[in-house]
Amino acid sequence: MKKSRLIFRQVKALAGNQGEELQALIWPLICYSPKIPLRLQQEQLLAEASKFSLPVLDPHFTQSQLTFHGFKWGSGKHKVLLTHGWGSKAADFFDLIVLLREINDLEIIAFDAPGNGSSEAELSNLLLYVQAAKAVIQNYGAPHIVIGHSLGAMANIIALQQTGVTPSLLISLAPLIRLKENFMATLAAAEVADTVQAMFFERFEAIFNMSTAYFNWDNFYHFGSAIEHRLAHTRQDLIAPYAYLHEFLTRHPEIDAHHYDDTTHERMLREPAVIADVVDLIKTRLR
């Protein structure tokens, strides 16, 4: 977290600059995922897991294979895949995993996406999250239940679309709906001029060979009623603004959306009411 704050301050200090020094700093501002140390309880939870490591290709930043690390609990016939958000890690699902482990018929799988937690990479991006989720599915089988938080919810949608997997239950917690707008909000907070932002997006799209505007749920969410989808959100969300979600839900009334008061984007993973509802839903579907 200290590094990400330092990068933010450096960008803000150069905000009036139009040169390459500022452009070079914008990349880590957008693509460096903050690393928050494990708490003791999280360390103990991971110590009780069966661990695995898988490779994914990073064609954009390092042009090399990266190793990411994952964790499994239980050996039930129903697989649950957990995909964390930005600046997060598998262990941040602690409260949910503890309760899911009490359900005998589950195998719980979580991973640290490249550039997050214990996994390799200095910089990360959504496509690396997607690659990791796909690698888990391809190596350990199609999950029956898929749960994602924030950017992880977006990664799950793309991974399911690309693998053709249809889980019996999809759960999205505070999902990020529009990635480009999230980038723009970060750049605006650092007082980066519109002309500098435009140059960054041009370079980003040249490297990734696609428009940043593509990373919008409307462009790749085509499940309709084929998947039971529970979505948890809060109107106080400053990371994934409710206005974007509201527009999306208006076009997809089949999604079972639940609002939670008095919580935030980050706290959604620890909110007792959210965790209880998710666990109860899973128990009901397994009966």
Pair 265, 174: CB distance under 8 Å: yes
- Which residues touch 192 (CB under 8 Å, ≥6 apart)? 11, 15, 22, 26, 200
Residue 171 pLDDT > 70: yes
> Which residues belong to CATH 3.40.50.1820 in the chain?
44-177+220-286
Residue 218 pLDDT > 70: yes
The pLDDT of residue 195 is 92
As a whole number, the mean pLDDT across the chain is: 96
Instruction: Just give the CATH number of 44-177+220-286.
Output: 3.40.50.1820
The pLDDT of residue 98 is 98
Q: How confident is the model at residue 151 (pLDDT cuts 50, 70, 90)?
A: very high
- Which residues touch 5 (CB under 8 Å, ≥6 apart)? none
Place of tokens 């110590």: 47
Output the six-digit token pair for 194.
Answer: 């519109």
- The Cα–Cα gap between 258 and 286 comes to 21
Give the DSSP letter of residue 101: T
Burial class (CB in 10 A: 0-12, 13-18, 19+), 109: buried
The pLDDT of residue 1 is 66
Pair 126, 204: CB distance under 8 Å: no
| 105-136 pLDDT per residue, tens | 999 999 999 999 999 999 999 999 999 999 99
- The Cα–Cα gap between 51 and 38 comes to 16
Q: How confident is the model at residue 287 (pLDDT cuts 50, 70, 90)?
A: confident
Mean pLDDT for the stretch of residues 245-252: 97
Q: How confident is the model at residue 265 (pLDDT cuts 50, 70, 90)?
A: very high
Residue 232 pLDDT > 70: yes
Pair 4, 31: CB distance under 8 Å: no
The pLDDT of residue 133 is 98
